[in-house]
Amino acid sequence: MKSSFLIYALVTLALLSYALYQGMVAAPTERTMGEIQRIFYYHVPSAWTAFLCFIANFVASITYLVRRNPKADAIAVTTAEVGVVFTTVVLITGPLWAKPVWGIWWTWDARLTTTLVLWLIYVSYLMFRRFSTGQQTATLAAALAIFGFIDVPIVYMSIRWWRTQHPKPVIAGGAGSGIDPEMWSALLWNLAAFVAFAGLLIWVRYRLERTRQQIDEMHALRALASTEGTLTR
């Protein structure tokens, strides 16, 4: 287990290094925006990785409600947390890209606003899990996650449904969309690297969550044993 984790971590590190080279050096400089467009290679893969995390959270939450399996609950909390980390990256790198290109840090257009709402939904979900002490926490959190997920397709479709300051999709955006093949290659390398990195974080966080669940079980068993001891005395 430890050696497979180490191999995976090393492969991820190599991927991240090569993806950095692809984004900063190998990809051609964009004609109108110049060097600042290279933020694209961190901004877009981070957004897609966050989406994948929230999709996994959605599936795990449904699985938990159907099967009441604590492993599904552990996957749900883990993917939500890692998804929030990647959405935070999106919300920080976006304005850093916007300021030199649009002349403003932020605007309340549909894409930016729905992304901020997405971040707030999953931060609320994590805070609810952190501070709720009732026995129904996992069930209520799963229900909250299922409703919260509605914002994911809204974020994705926002630049197709509404006129936004945010650019129209360059990938799967229909006629007239698309990017240079070398840019596409750099984007895919960065996407692979970030998905692998998210997988690594999920792996570590999942094991911690399972340990926490086992600690809770041990506390519950101890409490039960002491109650039974009191009753038989």
Partner 1 sequence: MRNLYLAYAATWIIHIVYILFLSRKAARLRAEVKELER
- Check: CB of residue 195 under 8 Å from CB of residue 44: no
Q: Which of 9, 13, 26, 36 binds partner 1 (CB under 8 A)?
A: 36
By CB under 8 A, tell whether 104 contacts partner 1.
Answer: no
Q: Which is nearer to partner 1, 35 or 180 (CB)?
A: 35
| HEC secondary structure over the chain | CHHHHHHHHHHHHHHHHHHHHHHHHHCCCECCCEHHHHHHHHHHHHHHHHHHHHHHHHHHHHHHHHHCCHHHHHHHHHHHHHHHHHHHHHHHHHHHHHHHHHCCCCCCCHHHHHHHHHHHHHHHHHHHHHHCCCCCHHHHHHHHHHHHCCHHHHHHHHHHHCCCCCCCCCCCCCCCCCCCHHHHHHHHHHHHHHHHHHHHHHHHHHHHHHHHHHHHHHHHHHHHHHHHHHHHC
By CB under 8 A, tell whether 17 contacts partner 1.
Answer: no
Considering only the C-alpha atoms of the chain, give the largest distance between any 2 of them, rounded to a whole number of Å. 82
By CB under 8 A, tell whether 11 contacts partner 1.
Answer: no
Binding to partner 1 by CB under 8 A, coded x per residue (else -) over 45-84, reads: -x--------------------------------------
Least distance to partner 1, CB of residue 94, Å: 9
* Binding residues for partner 1, total number by CB under 8 A: 30
Q: Which is nearer to partner 1, 5 or 162 (CB)?
A: 5
Residue 60 φ/ψ, nearest 5 degrees = -65, -35
Size of the chain, expressed as the number of residues it contains: 233
- What is the Cα–Cα distance from 75 to 67, expressed in whole angstroms? 14
Q: Which is nearer to partner 1, 125 or 197 (CB)?
A: 197
Q: Which of 35, 180, 182, 228 binds partner 1 (CB under 8 A)?
A: 35
Q: Which is nearer to partner 1, 168 or 212 (CB)?
A: 212
Least distance to partner 1, CB of residue 35, Å: 6
Interacting residues with partner 1 between 108 and 167 (CB under 8 A): none
By CB under 8 A, tell whether 10 contacts partner 1.
Answer: no
Least distance to partner 1, CB of residue 52, Å: 16
Residues that bind partner 1 (CB under 8 A): 20, 24, 35-36, 38-39, 42-43, 46, 85, 88-89, 92-93, 96-97, 99-100, 197, 201, 204-205, 208, 211-212, 214-215, 218-219, 222
